Amino acid sequence: MLVNPVNFEKSQFPMDSFWVFGYGSLMWDPGFQYVESTRARIFGFHRSLCIQSIRYRGTDSKPGLVFGLDRGGSCNGIAFRVDSSIQNEVIEYLWDREMLHEIYEPRMQKIFLQDSRRVNAITFVVKRDHPSYVKNLTADQTASIVADASGQRGANIDYVLSTLGMLESIGVKDKSLSFVGQLAISRTQRELQTLYSIYDASNTNECCRNLNRLVCKSSSPSLLNGSIPKKRWCVISRNAASAP
């Protein structure tokens, strides 16, 4: 069932609450109040890095990739139960966040909660006919984009690693996404090591600027692990941030 905030009816839900299904950043950064959260699963769709992001995790010149629910398979995520007293507030927030470029089709879908309850929940399914929809990327191609892109909400790789971290915390293993994450980490670590070598040899402003581009990625311990001595990285980060 398609959902439109204009004709969103309380009769679609229990009188006291409604559910939202998150499968990407909504899992670890919902941004709205809720009274209950639990692991949940949806059938008929799978999580996929299939949407170009030119706002939150990329730019017009270097788009990133964010998640969509794409056809086929199943997807584990987190369901949030929202009190009906803040229904309009939460719906408006979700539309502002997810529907800017209208690449998602908001739907009311049946989901299965961890305790075996079956409920209807709002979720966002990718529109395959949208220009920002991408398909048939290899793991290497996906990892290359994820490692290089960054947008208003930070590095694309942080987005992917945060999602993997949340999935791990609820006991979900996504092997294909983990593989992409490891490839992206390896790529970023190699770039850090190369720039570190150049910096150590030349200490030029150009190198500082390149390092500054990667500073945002250093927030993840996985990226710095073994790449650069931590004490040395603190000095480089300060210099990079102040480079002209």
Answer yes or no: 98 catalytic: yes
Alpha carbons 233 and 134: distance in angstroms, whole number:
36
Cβ within 8 Å of residue 15, ≥6 positions away: 84
Is residue 228 classed exposed, middle or buried when 0-12, 13-18 and 19+ CB atoms within 10 A define those classes?
Answer: buried
48 phi/psi in degrees, rounded to 5: -150, 140
From 98, 168, 191, 206, the catalytic residue: 98
**Which residues are part of the catalytic machinery?**
98
